[in-house]
Structure 1
Amino acid sequence: MSTWSMKQALFCLVGSTCLTLSVSMGGYWLWSKHQDKRLNSDEYKILSIVQTGPEKEALKSVYLAEILGLSADNPTPLYAFDMKKALAKLQASPLIANAKIKRVAPSTLYIDYEVRKPVAWAADFQNMAIDREGFLFPVTPFFSPKHLPEVYLGLPDFSGWQVKGAKFDLALEILQFLEAAPWKEGLRIKRIDVSNAFAGSLGQREVVLFTEEEMCFRKSEREIICTFPKILRIAPKDYPQQLGNFFALRRTMMEDYRKQLSAINEGGRFAPRIIDLRLPQLAFVEKG
């Protein structure tokens, strides 16, 4: 190769290198300028939250903003906002079962989430409901009051947002059994008490169900409503059979109630009947 050809080749190499470097530096400058604009411009600050999920606005956007540390007075830059930490904060809320979060330029956070579904009130604590996975969460002021049975486990103290153990498993089993029972029509389950279900003494082991049912009738052109509470004592292991016995006995008790209704002129709440179903083939009925 001649000296002139080598000079041409070297010139082309240096020229292409300089051109590439110039384009790269120009591109980096434009990218840096764009990033700086996204981080510091008022155009790219979080001004709104859009939320979706199975329920429409299950939680107020103000609550979501609060747990994410967002402020309307001092908006956070959208692209400086740590999305991993934000997701962790949402998932740490006792009210939220699962969540997803993403940015929507120029100024919006999109949050898709599902709140926990209560199956009962947790009677061991104030203002606490519990879901099927044993997670506890406060109800007021986040949700409207729920007409749910209470579950009493006999827990000593609050020790975390999730309850685990044989007592909760048994309470959930009984609750599901009662929900599916075809003969429970008109019967309200007020409380399931499993605090003594696994007591050290066999004689003390029991599950106590607090129930109510109403009867409505007309007398002298007036509607009279009577409430009949019952307290059922059942054995933890044999509760399906014992509850079946109770529902058979219930038909007879309802006839007895109807006879009592013919002699009353005012509605109200009757004295509770305590029914001990723990012994096979026997049911001891005691008026409270």
Structure 2
Amino acid sequence: MGMWALLRPGPNYSFAKVVLILFLSAGCLVSLFFGLQAYLHYLKVQSESHPIRGIVQAATDSPSIPTEFFAEVLDLSVDEPTYLNRFSIKEGIEKILGTHLIRQAILQKIPPDLLYLEYEMREPVAYLGDYSHTAIDEQGLLFPTIPLNSTKKLPRVFLGKHVSEEPWGTAMRGEEVKILRDLRASCKEEELASIDLSKLEAQTFGKREILLVFTRGNTLRLTPKNYLKEIDCYGKLKALLQEKEGSWIVDLRIPHMAFLQETDDE
């Protein structure tokens, strides 16, 4: 009799009751899931509810920019602290790129109170002669110089009247960028002191020219159209000029001819 009691069927529930039990069980599981999600979100918010106390930076090229510079750019202050959970990564990257010093940047939060910044600086290939404290990168973009890059020995480029009064963040014209790249590649053997492109679009063709000044003193006058051929001609004249004392202005604007004028060293 006792064995029969153990093996007898359980209560016979109706179909509607079974569906109700399953529905309530599923509801409990869903509530538990969302409750857990809400709790984890709460923990995350709590972990980020701290004033930002530092920036961990990693530059892809060295030396790196002082952290104080980025703290000022991102408006981080001890007197008026910014909380990590209220800090906008998107706005932070926009501010960093807005300095025009940085080519690209990655910015992340490190709970509870740090920012991680990885960036690549713009590399200057020349300085702008029309304005002080302004450099030019490989793509022709103008950006501010800082002590880290202002000590490099690079040529000064003069562009003329069309340069903006606020040049940082603006770019050279396409033709100017191409000429600068060509000249840097063609004049590796002799160091350039300055490149004057201000007369590329002079009103009369006779006044259109490129003016190159080398650190050793010689000056070249070239045409905007055939400057590469004219530099090649200058290469053939260098041996002759080295035999002479002093510095020379070499005018190569007329095909197959070179006009030499000795400069006054005084």
TM-score, L = length of structure 2:
0.82
Counterpart residue identity of residue 162, structure 1? T
Aligned mates of 1:200, 1:236 — CA distance in 2: 14
Q: Is the 8 A contact 1:51 1:57 kept in 2?
A: no
Runs of 4+ in 1 over 6 A off after TM superposition: none
CA 1:129–1:5 in 2, change beyond 3 Å: closer, same or farther? Answer: same
Hey, what does 2:86 align to over in structure 1?
A: 80
Bigger Cα displacement from structure 2, 245-254 vs 138-147 = 138-147
Hey, what does 1:115 align to over in structure 2?
A: 121
Hey, what does 1:172 align to over in structure 2?
A: 181
Secondary structure of the structure 1 residue equivalent to 2:211: strand
Which of residues 143, 152, 155 in structure 1 aligns to 2:161?
155
Bigger Cα displacement from structure 2, 247-256 vs 26-35 = 26-35
Hey, what does 2:196 align to over in structure 1?
A: 193
Aligned mates of 1:57, 1:104 — CA distance in 2: 23
1:249 equivalent in alignment to 2:237:
yes
Hey, what does 1:217 align to over in structure 2?
A: none
1:256, distance to aligned residue in structure 2 (A): 2.0
1:273 equivalent in alignment to 2:248:
yes
Secondary structure of the structure 2 residue equivalent to 1:134: coil
Q: Is the 8 A contact 1:275 1:284 kept in 2?
A: yes
Secondary structure of the structure 2 residue equivalent to 1:65: helix
Aligned mates of 1:130, 1:191 — CA distance in 2: 13
CA 1:17–1:207 in 2, change beyond 3 Å: closer, same or farther? Answer: closer
Secondary structure of the structure 2 residue equivalent to 1:114: strand
Secondary structure of the structure 2 residue equivalent to 1:119: strand
1:77, distance to aligned residue in structure 2 (A): 2.0
Secondary structure of the structure 1 residue equivalent to 2:39: helix
Aligned mates of 2:34, 2:199 — CA distance in 1: 75
Deviations along 1:38-97, one digit per CA (max 9) or x if unpaired, are 343x4xx32221111322352111111211121234432222211111122222221001
Which of residues 197, 210, 217 in structure 2 aligns to 1:207?
210
Hey, what does 1:38 align to over in structure 2?
A: 47
TM-score, L = length of structure 1:
0.76
Hey, what does 1:137 align to over in structure 2?
A: 143
1:156, distance to aligned residue in structure 2 (A): 3.5
Hey, what does 2:58 align to over in structure 1?
A: 52
CA 1:131–1:120 in 2, change beyond 3 Å: closer, same or farther? Answer: same
Counterpart residue identity of residue 123, structure 1? G
Bigger Cα displacement from structure 2, 198-207 vs 111-120 = 198-207
Identity of aligned residues (%): 28
1:91 equivalent in alignment to 2:100:
no
Hey, what does 2:13 align to over in structure 1?
A: 5
